[in-house]
Structure 1
Amino acid sequence: ILSISATWVSADIDVRASVDVKPSICTLGEPLRYIIRINAPADGEIIIGAPPLKLGKFHVRDYNVHLRRTKLRQYVTIKFIIAVYELGQLSVPPPRIQYRDITGRTHRVDIPTASVSVRGVVPPGRAQLRDVKPPLMLPLPWWVYAGIMSGIIGLILVCILIAGFARELWRRKRTPMSISISRTLPHEEAFASLDALKRDNWRDIDHEAFFANLSHTIRHYLARRFGIPALETTTSATVRYTMCVVPDGNSSTLVRDLLRVCDLVKFARYQPDEDTCKRAWEEAWSVVKQTAPHDMTRMRESSVELDANVSWMPSADDSAMERLRSIAKRETQALLDDKLSLRVMRNDAVLFESEHGGIKPLLDCVQSLGEQLHGATVVDKVIGTAAAKLCIVAGVKRVFAITASEPALAILRHAGIAYFAQMVVPRILNRAGTDLCPFEKLSAQYEEPVKFYEALIAHFSE
């Protein structure tokens, strides 16, 4: 093993550098120890950069720095473990190292270049290694190509199906809500269905089919007449909804007794007698008769169908009303598409948006914007009397709603505020559907909108 050493002394300052490479004769890939030693005055600073990955053609495998100081001198030893994969007489270029003296000037430390002789692993006198042949490509059987092509075709088909499914979802989302005005009032439709179920002989009837149709008729009537989810809820839930929207306690009792008998026949295989069938039909007829509206004109203007599209504006002709409906349908659909509960606009500029339900977002809007809401348009999912009075306090010009209560629309109309509602219900219930909304109850205590506004602020301040 040989050692190559060299020493350099700066002409300006006393900085010395030397290098050692051990061994100086090696084979391909053999680790070499490449050591740099620097001796410089102690009042300066030796600057060593980040460890390099390569020194010329030599790959750096390890790197270590050791510093030792005395009163007058500092000694830095940098140790590399390097390897090379080329043959011949090769030079190891040194890394860039600098020295900053006491005055702040930076000097480059000139490090000598070391030389290494790299030999092959074949002993001298024998033939040199021959080049390795490139990899041989073996032909694949036909079924491998067929499998690859089948996989590519299947992947393309899956992508086409996913794209078609996504396009269909996008198309359904963009399709506007269809409008189909019902020509028959809820109680008229219910009476017609009950007439079809009436029998002269109640003995020879299919009990299961009769009571199933009777239950569906009453549930469908309650859903259309009062806007409650009677077709989707259980009997007990439907009775609770009915008790909230129907002030007549006798009608709620009839609904409860009738639906219970229908459930017994449908699910418990109860076989009623002739009198029970006749009495059930008469109770259904009484429910519709007692809850049907007495004012047919008002009923037609405030149908609780989702597609009723009730609208009003002061001193408006047919063309102005049609423009109002067109704008309202567009804005309410946009509210649903954007998954929002409230949006307040003025001159097509959005002033306020919220995705939270309830009365709190509208109250926050009125408190924060104040007079900026004068002449604005409120688009809300649900408008009850509480929201209607807040709109009066804010001085808005128009109100568009997905669902609105009849008392709320009456309040808006009395205040001269134009409105549009896709669905009109008698009153706004709480989230459980068991009672009137608590803020509707609070609104009923204050006839003046400003006093209700102050009471609402005090409620949320507690």
Structure 2
Amino acid sequence: MIRTKFKTFFFLPALLLLLLVFNNGRGQTVSEFVKIDSLQVGDTFNYSVTLNRSKEYDQLAFPDSSHFGDSFEIRSRRHYQITTYKDSVSYKLQFFATADTTIPALPVTLIQQQDTTVLYTNPVRIPFHSVLAKDEQEFRPLKPIFDFAEAWWPYILALLILIAAGYLFYHYYWKKRKTEEPKEPKTFSPETFVNPLIQLEKAIKELEQSKLDSHEDFKAFYIRLGDAIRRYYEDLYRIPALESTSGELLRALHKRVVDDDLLADTRAVLQEADMVKFAKFQPTNEQAKRALRKAHNFLERAQDVDGPRIEQMRRKHKSQVETERKQFYEEQNHKEVKA
């Protein structure tokens, strides 16, 4: 009898503890939902993550842009609380891959005081749909370099021209040098201030008149569009944006804490431009119009965010011009007095 009571006393708490651990592990689940067949570069689609939990937590952390990888860009994100213990986050993603890819397993973190629980979604395969013909989807091999015989006649011609120039210089400026005519007084010509916003707006208006009938037309369009935004950053921050790769420029802008909306539009435009230039991607007229709309959004946002900085640059330039003007005329007066 005593032995039976001892077994019961030991067995019931162990069973209750096991049930509590089991229920706590099954009390929260995470699931994902996406409905697509295949995607082209630049397409957007919806992706949602749903969390079911059994109790309140101090903090819930859903996936952000660092978890999706370089092939996906978050365009928008909305958090819904369906019930007291059920949350859903809906993402609008933009696709930038050039082959079949996968949305990785994404973490959802639940924090309760000192305890942290991490749940993961299932990976989702995303098929890629190319607009190129099958025989054009790979880079063509480089043609061999041909060797040409070295020509000597340009060097001989350059030598004869140099001799003739030396003779003329000696004959007219030394043997028959006449009295020099009075020089006209120098005038101060200040450097004009270049407003990056005005230059960007002008470039966008010119691109609106572009005719896109062939791949070369699209390539020139995207190169001019990407260079317009690069030149804006180069004039604004005095960085070598035109000589930098897209990745180098984006990293430099990230270090300067550039506005998130400007950075997102910059990344989208430069990635599409690189696809057209280097991957022989053939965009549609609608995709080109979307890229132009992004440039307009970029211009409007830049006017709000960078307007004060550009105004400060203009005032600084004006002050510098006045200082140079004063110094110029002081030097002119000093030369006249000395003469």
TM range (shorter): 0.3 to 0.5
The structure with the largest alpha-carbon Rg is 1
TM-score by length of 2: 0.36
Point out the structure with the larger helix share.
2
**Bigger relative contact order, structure 1 or 2 (CA pairs below 8 A, ≥6 apart):** 2
TM-score by length of 1: 0.28
Point out the structure with the larger strand share.
1
